[in-house]
Amino acid sequence: MKGCGMKIWLDNGLVDKEQAKVSVFDHGLLYGDGVFEGIRVYGGKIFELEAHLKRLWDSAKVIRLEIPMTMEQMTEALYQTVRANNVVDGYIRQVVTRGVGDLGLNPYLCKRACVIIIAANIQLYKEELYEKGLKVVSVPTLRNHPMALPPQVKSLNYLNNIMAKIESIDAGASEAIMYNSEGYVAEASGDNVFIVKNGTIYTPPVQAGSLDGITRQVVMRLASQAGLPVVEKNLTRFDLYVADEFFLTGSAAEVIGVVEIDGRLIGQGAPGPMTQKLRKLFFEYARS
């Protein structure tokens, strides 16, 4: 931030960035016990806020975490944080940890959940990559089994995704493509996967091991409204290799084309026409 210190929402109000601290006994730190959301801000307005709040509350319900405020109070806290940091086009990280407990696993010894809201700017990929497209690799780290942790829960335990990200960086690629235990495409380390084949858009179902991304939902809706067929279907590595187009979606990534996977060129080696159209439709919708 320029001209003023960054403000962070911590529990009951805004504090200076330097004062935004949590206990070493917080189970979010000790065990990755908590949930979070990544949300875009466009023109000072929080993008798809209702959908993000619903997903946060659903995730908390699944892990038996009580959020210590109402959705209305959370909405006000989010906007206060955005305004305090003069964020017009940016990104919000909204975190709810289990709170302070002891060194044991028992979550019920944590008396109150901790709420953290950070509003700042973000650029996940360089601008040139949106024009040229990404190179990605398949990685050996499998997506967590849905019976271990449902993929719809956006939890603080992100080590599965981080291991995949490390493997992609080691391979010199921008992103990792993760598969489930049955060999089907799950998601990228931080984004949802889409391909285009013979004029139809395909994306893995959430049951394959992917987060039900908010940007994913918006892109699917915009595609349908534009008359572009969208099908949720289990995809294999073969399907990715022979795709006409390939793109990723996510709150931070928005819509970005993939031009190479595992050394195999996608289409003509540049983001395809459907990818470009959906990116344009997404930005028109986001700023409308």
List the catalytic residues: 154
Q: Which two tokens stand for residue 221?
A: 């809706």
Residue of 181, 258, 178, 235 whose CA lies nearest to 211: 178
Angle at Cα 69 formed by Cα 65 and Cα 73, nearest 5°? 145
Rounded distance, CA 85 to CA 82, Å? 5
Angle between helices 49-62 and 214-225 (to 10 degrees): 130
3-state secondary structure (DSSP) of residue 39: strand
Residue owning tokens 């849905």: 146
Q: Which two tokens stand for residue 154?
A: 């956006």
Length of the chain: 288
Rounded distance, CA 174 to CA 190, Å? 11
Q: How far apart are the first and last CA of the chain?
A: 26
